[in-house]
A and B are shown apart, each in its own frame.
Chain A
Amino acid sequence: MTNSISDFDKADLLFVIGSNTTECHPIIGRFIRQAVKFKETKLIVADPRNIELARVADIHLRHKPGTDVALINAMMNVIIKENLQDQEFIDKRTEGYDELVKTVNNYDTERATEITGVPQDEINAAARLFAEADSAIVTYSMGITQHITGTDNVKSLANIVMLTGNIGREGTGLSPLRGQNNVQGACDMGALPNVYPGYQNVDNSEIQKKFESAWGCKLSAKPGLTTTMMTDAMHEGRIKAMFVVGENPLMSEPHLNHARKAMERLAFLVVQDIFPTETSLMADVILPAAVFAEKDGTYTNTERRIQKLRKAIDPPAEAKSDWEIINMLAERLGHTFGFKSTAEIMDEIASLTPSYGGISHNRLDTGGLQWPCPNRDHPGTPFLHKDLFTRGKGKFHAVEYKSPAESTSEEFPLILTTGRMLEHWHTGSMSRRSDVLDALQPNGMIDIHPDDALKLGITDGDIVAVSSARGRIKTRAHITDKASPGVAYMAFHWSEAPANILTNPALDPFAKIPEYKVSAVKAELLVMDKERQDNQ
């Protein structure tokens, strides 16, 4: 995020879009609720589902999944038409405004209503409320990014933030909430196919030279493959061996059947993990790793804060920290890293990563530090883009609305969106093994709106078969008006009913994120589904 968690308390308005914050980032969710309750902070929520925050919002925009660009363009259309933009900010700090105006001119509220399903007066009201706030924060999460238009969605949000001058000051900014505990850090550390640590491009020859001399070896300038592209490459035999550490792609990838077949073709698969998972059980070798409480190191949270993890207990039997395992393996392959502690690793990171240049373990004992932190005396950076954007002037990127990759049909009349629930996390390999969490939420289910349930003859608690063009699963129906008519919802934590059997692997062309949030499916009573299959 460009700002800090403490900024939620300082804004006059919060605009939450595509984030079920109280379930997926509960502590930030409660800070938002506190601000609304005690500070009279205004709240706009845009979400197809009737999520908890929507119920305390001033305005809830219930747009159809995948229509975010149209919705934001229409809000900007209203702001510009009514001359509510921050012209001084636009003139001084941005470029590309004229193109933006041209594009959003085509998104009057009438057209937007047609696309998004949100009534015109609600779009008008939200636009005015947003523009009139002195300081506003836009918060989003995977509901924005997990679309084929994910990159466009983010650009739209950046547009509306710049249009109203809501960046670079306390209580303003664009706040993506990162899903897993250290997604931010994994990206910062260059666990990405195109960049070294600190987002330094692998195809930049100067950067390449810097890392070659630091690591004492030749390096490749050819950007590598992303997760989903690797799956295709395995399928086509271009990737023959995989080394998977701490991930369970056979639960988290879209269109799981495809991912499983791809992995079956590998000549060699090593998985390093803490539990037997769907993925590790396909491996040739499984290496036992340590959990968070058994190791030292750092995580970087969603507000770029680097915090220290401390070893509290020993790992069971012969399990080892992941960094120790990789160290040993590198040595066997003729490359000695020679790290004796995680503090030493951080020192090497700091020497090669400008934004982490001032980080060392002994500076992190209280509260942690927010990057950029370029040197040992730097106090860290609570909010970015104070006077300048990274590229100088902020650029408006005019974006056009594109419909989701898949739409409903006679055969698959429902849209399915996926996500997480409060009590569980990701592929469930940790949370499903917690007695308390599993007792609180033992069953997966599909949320279906009462209107759809009536049409389909389904009642609450029925076992239903849910299928898409890619696969079919069984789960329990939960009839609730949290779902919108025509839009069903499932969490993806359940290996008994993996939602990702159904999801669409269509990718955002830039970020390569699959469109988890829009798949066309059908749901029917299991008995009826059985009968039809028997008759075929």
Chain B
Amino acid sequence: MIKTDDASAEEVSTTITLTIDGREIETRDGATVLEAALASGIIIPTLCHDPDLRPYGACRLCVVEIEGMRGLVPSCTTLAREGMIIQTNTANVKKSRRITMELIVANHPADCLTCAKNQDCRLQHFASYLGVDQEHCDRLRKSTQVLPVDRRHPAFDFDPNKCILCAKCVRACHEVTCAAVIDLSYRGYDAKISTFGDKSWIEANCRSCGDCVDRCPTGALAPKNEMKGDRSVKTVCPYCGVGCSLYLGIRDNQIVNIKGDKKSPVNKGGLCVKGRFGFDFVKHPERLTRPLIRKKDVGRDVKIDRSNYRDFFREATWEEALELVADNLAACKEKEGPDSIGVLSSAKFTNEENYVVQKFARAVIGTNNIDHCARL
């Protein structure tokens, strides 16, 4: 859904040929130099590039040399042309990248070990990839302003001290979510990410989709309650009928993080607030864990609620509970006929479960009194 270059994105058919680091490469007409390189496995470090977002040219890490062009050129905002000859690893390029990276690192808090994005951070990744000179950094290090961390959103925090102003979050909010809640405000040294009028994100009508958090290359935007999983399982969001595909990060039999499935033809990696932050109901203490049987003489009109229901129900084994259900259903069918029994299935259930429930109603009970709340 995201378009890089409107007309050209449509016509995938035309390709052009160019040379990167001595390798001849074919790419789609309309691709940027960076896209052409990445597509053929040539690594160019970048912090502000995202295939779903429009090129922005903020981090200056992706500079290359192109024959016939003066100086260093940002590869993310330069369109690839037929016959271009590109170098991504000259001495000049390397030097420029290192200085750029050292400037970023020098201004960045060094609390990696306690940061929520540790090991999942693009800045960390490319800093170690490029190598950063400690002495240089110390020399460059200014007395960084210590700005307050915004913790007002229930699902994520914003630490402006860790922000590298790559504007991925802003572009995500404008181009993907289209909510346009956040923006780059002020200029120069005071530049920062904020909502209109510096209100809290919620007050600024943030939709809490977490797209900005997901794309932030540093710990500036970080989810509050995530942990690293030791395995991940692809599944489908259980909330609405869009059916977004996602990955659950799992450890110790718990869901500890959630990622949208970027390859899904349904949601292309996106999730809404429910799919991204709404799965903690799974481990809610009120989950039913054992069959329950209503105590004798508790009438159906007794007012029972979530706080007192244990007084009116007792725990039972599956054996006992199923026996009771089977006996009662069988007796009712025997005495009043199968159509005196009704079965309600669920639009929250899987196909397989719905199939089994309707088969149960029809084949076992013998009634077509089977419905679900589709209409509601």
Contacts and interface: CB of A to CB of B under 8 A. Distances in A.
A243 B344 contact: yes
B325 interface: yes
B25 to A, nearest CB: 27
Contact of B239 (A224, A345, A431): A431
Contacts of B364: 329-330, 333-335
Contacts of B154: 435-436, 439-440
A434 B278 contact: yes
B348 interface: yes
Interface in B299-331: 300-301, 304-306, 309, 313, 316, 318, 321-326, 328-330
Interface in B194-223: 202, 207-209
Interface in B218-269: 225, 233-245, 248, 250, 253-255, 263-267
A37 B283 CA distance: 40
B243 A322 contact: no
A37 B2 CA distance: 11
Nearest to A508: B375
B350 A185 contact: yes
A9 interface: yes
Interface stretch (B79-87, B129-137, B365-373): B365-373
Nearest to B209: A26
A342 B376 contact: no
Given A27-B272, A181-B241, A298-B350, A34 B175 contact: yes
A337 interface: yes
B151 to A, nearest CB: 12
B286 interface: yes
A293 B283 CA distance: 11
Which of B155, B270, B354: most chain A Cβ within 10 A?
B354
A321 B154 CA distance: 32
B363 A219 contact: yes
Contacts of A269: 300
A191 to B, nearest CB: 4
A297 B374 contact: no
Minimum-distance CB pairs A-B, first 5: A301-B243, A297-B350, A224-B368, A246-B346, A26-B272
Given A306-B351, A312-B235, A425 B372 contact: no
A146 B177 CA distance: 29
Interface residues of B, number: 119
B336 interface: yes
Contacts of B38: none
A184 B241 CA distance: 8
Interface string A30-52: 11011101110000000000000
Contact of A193 (B1, B280, B289, B370): B370
A512 B61 CA distance: 61
Interface string B54-83: 000000000000000000000000000000
Interface of B: 1-3, 6, 154-155, 175-178, 202, 207-209, 225, 233-245, 248, 250, 253-255, 263-267, 270-274, 277-284, 286-294, 300-301, 304-306, 309, 313, 316, 318, 321-326, 328-330, 332, 336, 338-376
Contact of B352 (A297, A422, A436): A297
A234 B300 CA distance: 14
A220 B367 contact: yes
B351 A252 contact: no
Contacts of B328: 241, 267-268, 270, 284
Contact of B347 (A180, A326, A339, A513): A180
Interface in A444-501: none
Contacts of A511: 375
B50 to A, nearest CB: 15
A416 interface: no
Nearest to B234: A310
Contact of B348 (A182, A296, A326): A182
A242 B344 contact: yes
A5 B290 CA distance: 40
A306 B266 CA distance: 11
22 contacts: A5-B266, A38-B2, A180-B240, A185-B350, A192-B374, A193-B368, A193-B370, A224-B339, A224-B369, A238-B340, A241-B328, A281-B309, A297-B350, A300-B351, A302-B241, A322-B353, A332-B322, A333-B364, A345-B352, A423-B274, A430-B239, A516-B376
A93 B207 CA distance: 43
B287 A189 contact: no
Interface string A53-88: 000000000000000000000000000000000000
A297 B371 contact: no
Nearest to B294: A284
A252 B372 CA distance: 11
A329 B348 contact: no
Contacts of B306: 276, 281
Contacts of A431: 239, 274, 278, 281
A274 B288 contact: yes
A186 B274 CA distance: 22
A388 interface: no
A354 B162 CA distance: 56
A273 B233 CA distance: 24
Interface stretch (A126-134, A225-233, A407-415, A518-526): A225-233
A96 interface: no
A398 interface: no
A97 interface: no
B322 A230 contact: no
Contact of B266 (A194, A288, A305): A305
A505 to B, nearest CB: 11
B368 A346 contact: no
Nearest to B305: A281
Given A191-B357, A293-B279, A186 B345 contact: yes
Contacts of A194: 368
Which of A31, A243, A302: most chain B Cβ within 10 A?
A243
A376 B326 CA distance: 38
A335 B330 CA distance: 12
Nearest to A184: B241
A41 to B, nearest CB: 11
B1 A243 contact: no
Nearest to A4: B265
B243 A181 contact: yes
B264 A223 contact: no
Given A27-B244, A220-B338, A286-B292, A335 B363 contact: yes
B288 A275 contact: yes
Given A342-B352, A431-B281, A318 B374 contact: no
Contact of B288 (A26, A202, A273): A273
A245 B357 contact: yes
Contacts of B345: 186, 191, 245-247
A249 B209 CA distance: 30
A434 B282 CA distance: 8
A516 to B, nearest CB: 8
Contacts of A234: 342
Given A27-B267, A215-B363, A309-B236, A317 B289 contact: yes
Contacts of A334: 364
Which of B301, B305, B366, B376: most chain A Cβ within 10 A?
B376
A168 interface: no
Interface in A244-290: 244-247, 249, 252-253, 263-264, 266-270, 273-276, 280-289
